[in-house]
Amino acid sequence: MRITVCRKGHFSAAHRLHNPNWDDEKNQRVFGDCNNPQFHGHNYEVIVKVTGELDPETGYLIDLKILRDMINEHVLDRFDHRNLYTEVEDFRNLNPTAENIAIVIWKILREKIDKKYEIKVTLYETERNFVEYEGQ
Ligand code: NI
């Protein structure tokens, strides 16, 4: 029986959107306020969905305590109250857009979560803007 369990987490972080290969004028034109050199912050919500076969012995798909601890340790503690653009290694050469943040989170968790599960990451940058990534 296939089923999906979800765990939600939260982190606050600062960023700016910037392509170092472009001049200031083009960065400003493409990214607008998001290019502000003084940075700005978001309250990000991340939802991790894990899909697989239900274990009939436990009635679990995956132990949610283990999933929670994994997300806390490897994602939330890594990003919370950080400046993604200047402080987080994952974005040294990667523009910290919502899309790229979701991909980075998916890649981090893909290495930690058993391959028998499929995982999908949904990242809310604002209440109305969110992205989803499930690999590929
Ligand atoms: Ni932003």
Burial class (CB in 10 A: 0-12, 13-18, 19+), 136: exposed
Residue 136: band (very low, low, confident or very high) from pLDDT cuts 50, 70, 90: confident
How many angstroms separate the alpha carbon of residue 14 from the centre of ligand 1?
8
Known catalytic residues are 34, 81, 125
pLDDT in tens, 64-88: 999 999 999 999 999 999 999 999 9
pTM above 0.85, yes or no: yes
How many angstroms separate the alpha carbon of residue 66 from the centre of ligand 1?
31
Domain ranges of the chain: 2-133
| Average pLDDT of the residues in 23-27 | 97
- 2-133 is classed CATH 1.20.1260.10: no
Q: Residue-wise over 47-81: b if at least 16 C-beta within 10 A, else e?
A: bbbbbbeeeeeeeebbeeeebeebbeeebbebbee
User: Edge-to-edge, what's the strand order for the sheet holding 118-124?
Assistant: 82-83, 2-15, 40-53, 118-124, 130-133
How many angstroms separate the alpha carbon of residue 28 from the centre of ligand 1?
13
